[in-house]
Amino acid sequence: MAPNPDPSGIESSDLESLESKVLAFITEDRWLRLATELIATGQPRAGNPLDPDLPGGEEEAIAMLVAGKLEALGMCVETPAAVPHRPNVIGTLKGCGEGPSLIINDHLDTYPVVEPHKWDKTGFDPYRATREGDRLYARGTSDTRGNMASCLLAAQALNAAGVRFEGDLIYCFCVDEERDGTHGSIYLTQELGLRADYSITAEPTAWGGPVDASADSAANGAAPWGMNLSVANSGHCLIEIAVSGEKSHIWRPDVAINPIVEAAPLLAALKTMAFTHEADPFPGHTPPCVTVVRIRGGLEGEMQFSPDECVITLAVVGIVPGMTLDGIVADIEAVARASFAGDNRLGATVRQVPGSLFVEATPPVPTDEEPCLSLARAYGRLVGGTPQPNRKNAFNDTIRLREAGINAVTFGPGEDGWAPDNEWISIAKSVTAARIYALAIMDILKVRE
């Protein structure tokens, strides 16, 4: 019996042979060499703090490296930049027919290293990729140059096998992701009009224990592992509370109203406060809550005096659909009033941190639509089972692509935990993710004969 033809015109036996060539190209050695190169390039200048009062990163070096790799794959490459030294990279491989368009997305910046003395896994050089078992350690392994290596390796494998598509493949690498995308995904979608039918962001969604590559690992008692499919994102914002009191000389603490000391009950209340919101049928793993990230008080040159103001900076995370900046500020104001009730010598002013953005939560992409369907099929073939859909707590460029009306999801091998020091990624999961990306791209864009 002759093989059943694929709708794209390529016979199923030929497609299986092509897929085998693609998967065989994606090896651990190729991923390691590519990840190591990407991790070191342009660092530490690509470190991009969320702090709006600090200068942003510069991703120019890594952008040029990635642009060259995409050009080598025959892509038409553009490097649009909203500001100097921060070029985004867009590589497009036009399809041969009328198929859909697919963005593969990742970001070029990392978060900075502030305490290199804590990076003992890399010999105290945070940008020296260092292997230990299944883990590769360095800044940018999990967030997100290790993921970038996986999606680039998928493109290299497709090119090496000579795969052609009906639809358009677009590789989009953004700057400024760690700072909510102002010069990256916001600029590309809102000012340049970047669009596609579907998008997959290669960012951390992995979970589970150490990888056992044997086929009967579960039967042997190995810890389960996998990668979630993040079909939605929670929102976040930065809020500051200025607590005011009365200054005094350090020799007269009895007459001081020290806002740092008096803020203690407020800090405890913030830790347990509940935000006003409607329960979402698809919540994130972290409910709407507060993380205190900075407390500032006292003036340089006034060590002889207690301060009359301290400023508490909060990250509000886990924001679900329907929550607004005004509502969040009102909730925090109510907690501050309750904490300082009965003492009119204390005051509290609540506002959004100047220069920061309010990021709304996104609605989920239905799991019975692309790119969820193709990712799930590839996952089932290579890992087994189905990837669990979830709402990702963290910001990534998926949010901006989703805001642009694209069916945008997040799926990647990095651990969804973001180690501040000794950051790492699973090598085996990264290789598996590259293979999943390759199969999903072939499925979505349809292979042409």
Q: Is 2 a residue whose pLDDT tops 50?
A: no
Task: Give the residue-averaged pLDDT of 40-51.
Answer: 97
**Pair 178, 50: CB distance under 8 Å:** yes
415 vs 423, residue with greater confidence: 423
| Averaged pLDDT score across all residues of the chain | 93
At 15, is the pLDDT very low, low, confident or very high (cuts 50, 70, 90)? confident
- Taking only the tens place, the pLDDT of each residue in 137-189 is 999 999 999 999 999 999 999 999 999 999 999 999 999 999 999 999 999 99
The span from the CA of 296 to the CA of 277, in Å, is 30
Q: Is 8 a residue whose pLDDT tops 50?
A: no
Q: Is 384 a residue whose pLDDT tops 90?
A: yes
The pLDDT, as a whole number, for residue 4 is 35
The span from the CA of 150 to the CA of 144, in Å, is 10
The pLDDT, as a whole number, for residue 10 is 65
> Quick check: helix, strand or coil at residue 424?
strand
List the 130-132 sheet strands across, edge first: 130-132, 135-137, 424-426
- Could you tell me which residues are beta bridge partners of residue 200? 104, 409
C-alpha distances out from residue 269 to 13, 180, 237, 320, 352, Å: 64, 28, 19, 21, 19
At 9, is the pLDDT very low, low, confident or very high (cuts 50, 70, 90)? low
Cβ within 8 Å of residue 117, ≥6 positions away: 124
- Taking only the tens place, the pLDDT of each residue in 75-128 is 999 999 999 999 999 999 999 988 999 999 999 999 999 999 999 999 999 999
The span from the CA of 318 to the CA of 448, in Å, is 43
Strands 347-352, 235-244: pairing kind:
antiparallel
Q: Is 1 a residue whose pLDDT tops 90?
A: no
Q: Is 3 a residue whose pLDDT tops 80?
A: no
> Quick check: helix, strand or coil at residue 319?
strand
- SS3 readout for 201-246: ECCCCEEECCCCCCCCCCCCCCCCEEECEEEEECEEEEEEEEEECE
Cα 56 to the chain's mean position, in Å?
Answer: 17
Q: Which domains does the chain have, with CATH numbers?
A: 12-233+361-445 (3.40.630.10), 235-352 (3.30.70.360)
- Could you tell me which residues are beta bridge partners of residue 316? 237, 290
Alpha helices in 58-164 (DSSP H): 60-72, 146-160
Q: Is 217 a residue whose pLDDT tops 60?
A: no
> Quick check: helix, strand or coil at residue 141?
helix
At 215, is the pLDDT very low, low, confident or very high (cuts 50, 70, 90)? very low
> Quick check: helix, strand or coil at residue 436?
helix
Give the distance between the most distant pair of CA atoms in the chain.
Answer: 96
Query: For residue 270, what are its two tokens?
Result: 């913030």
The pLDDT, as a whole number, for residue 227 is 96
Q: Is 218 a residue whose pLDDT tops 70?
A: no
Strands 424-426, 135-137: pairing kind:
antiparallel
- Taking only the tens place, the pLDDT of each residue in 60-71 is 999 999 999 999
Q: Is 7 a residue whose pLDDT tops 70?
A: no
